[in-house]
Amino acid sequence: MKRQMICLLCLLMFSGCATEAPPATIDNCEELDCSTIMDAPAPLAGNYLPADRDKVDRGAYLVELLGCGACHTNGAFEGAPDMQRSLAGSSTGIAFSNPLGDDRPGVIFPANITPDNETGIGQWSDAQIGKAIRAGVGRHGSRRIAMMPWPGYAKLTDDDLGAMVTYLRSIKPIANSVPAEVAPGQRARDPFVYFGVYRSKK
């Protein structure tokens, strides 16, 4: 039952109406077949201590169960995730204001959460990664990350959170920059999704 609820939560949060010019009505959209739960990428043996193997396995299980890849993997919103670049961020964004009521909604692009030093979380501290997951706080703590579903992760135990951090540090670092956040009122140059199961027709 709990797994079914999590899957439903992921479907509602990570599927959407992808658009370059927001549709005026739902009639201008087509049904979207998104990916919600995907296999977590395998850890690299040289990226963690052998004594941490159980922790890495637990973290991989949680990252997969919580649907992190459904947001942080390019192509997942369209139902065609790029598994060679799993968790390396998405060039399709998520609207955080209503595109059906606002023709220029704010859009955020899911971050690269691989341990790449330049474009990912390689230079983040364990505490910074933990706060991003459990409280939705960005690296420098200035504000919450728009659309990060942290309320669903807020009660993760310290052990589970630590396992997720250890796992994320164990996977292959992938260099991939995502587009910059688009403020409400600005025109998004890249496609984005909104809650629902539709995408704008080309």
pLDDT at 173: 98
pLDDT over 80 at 25, yes or no: no
Tokens of 104: 């220029």
- Please state the domain extents for the chain: 2-200
How distant is the alpha carbon of residue 166 from its chain centre?
18
pLDDT of the residue at 87: 98
Concatenate the DSSP letters of all residues of 25-68 into one string.
SGGGEEE-----S-PPPPPPGGGS-GGGHHHHHHHHHHHHHTTH
Q: Report CA Rg, the chain.
A: 17
Of the given ranges (44-53, 122-131, 142-151), which has the lowest mean pLDDT? Answer: 142-151
CB within 8 A of 37, min separation 6: which ones?
7, 10, 64, 65, 67, 69, 70
What pLDDT score does 193 carry? Answer: 84
Measured CA to CA, the distance from residue 125 to residue 166 in angstroms comes to 11
Q: Which amino acid is at 154?
A: A
Model-level pTM greater than 0.75?
yes
Q: What is the mean pLDDT of the chain?
A: 82
Distance CA 94, CA 110 (A): 8
Mean pLDDT confidence for 133-162: 88
* 114 contacts 121 by C-beta, under 8 angstroms: yes
Res 98: pLDDT: 72
99 close to 105: Cβ distance less than 8 angstroms: yes
As a whole number of angstroms, the distance between CA 27 and CA 30 comes to: 8
Q: What is the pLDDT of residue 88?
A: 98
The one-letter amino acid code at 93 reads G
Residue 122 and residue 3: Cα distance in Å, rounded? Answer: 30
